């Protein structure tokens, strides 16, 4: 069921995920800058905000600030996890089309290798802080909107 808190959480987390993707692109090598990263991460942020933050009853009056803080940090971590996983799978498919893998096993292990490489890029302070602040902002504003417009 669409609610105002779901919409606010989705929009704010989509914007934060777009900023994370932009920072991620800055840390990638110049020869590899896929154009679909920013819209893809924004879509991931939109979905995470809609289904996790908005779907957890963010406007409940019995939620404390600790619960909202936890929801925001988890939402930021989910954006990072799903972004790294999905774009590692996309990169694996692109590499498999170029016949870089010997078989299915190599391709599947290649996903985890690509996730490890992307994880090294993601674990910079500016990216982690952007994801965390975006998740916190989305959680607290979604809770406020949920209380305001019931």
pLDDT at 9 (0 to 100):
92
pLDDT, tens digit (0-9, with 9 covering 90-100), for 25-53: 888 877 777 788 899 999 999 999 999 88
pLDDT, tens digit (0-9, with 9 covering 90-100), for 116-146: 988 898 999 999 999 999 999 999 998 888 8
Decide if 141 contacts 10 (C-beta within 8 A): no
Cβ neighbors of 39 (< 8 A, separation 6 or more) are 18
Domain count, the chain: 1
User: How many CA atoms lie within 13 Å of 33's alpha carbon, on the beta-carbon side?
Assistant: 10
Q: What domain range includes position 38?
A: 4-148
Please give the Cα distance from 123 to 74 (Å, whole number): 16
pLDDT at 33 (0 to 100):
76
pLDDT, tens digit (0-9, with 9 covering 90-100), for 60-113: 555 678 888 999 999 999 999 999 999 999 989 988 888 888 888 898 898 999
pLDDT at 67 (0 to 100):
87
Comparing 15 with 34, the larger pLDDT belongs to 15
pLDDT at 84 (0 to 100):
92
């Amino acid at each position: 069921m669409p609610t105002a808190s779901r919409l606010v959480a989705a929009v704010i987390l989509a914007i934060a995920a777009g900023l994370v993707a932009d920072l991620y692109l800055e840390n990638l090598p110049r020869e590899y800058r896929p154009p679909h990263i920013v819209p893809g991460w924004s879509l991931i942020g939109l979905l995470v905000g809609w289904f996790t933050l908005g779907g957890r009853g963010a406007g409940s009056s019995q939620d404390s600030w600790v619960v909202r803080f936890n929801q925001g940090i988890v939402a930021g971590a989910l954006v990072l996890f799903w972004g790294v996983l999905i774009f590692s799978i996309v990169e694996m498919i692109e590499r498999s089309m170029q016949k870089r893998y010997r078989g299915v096993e190599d391709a599947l292990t290649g996903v985890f290798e690509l996730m490890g490489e992307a994880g090294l890029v993601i674990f910079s302070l500016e990216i982690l802080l952007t994801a965390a602040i975006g998740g916190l902002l989305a959680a607290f504003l979604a809770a406020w909107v949920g209380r305001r417009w019931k």
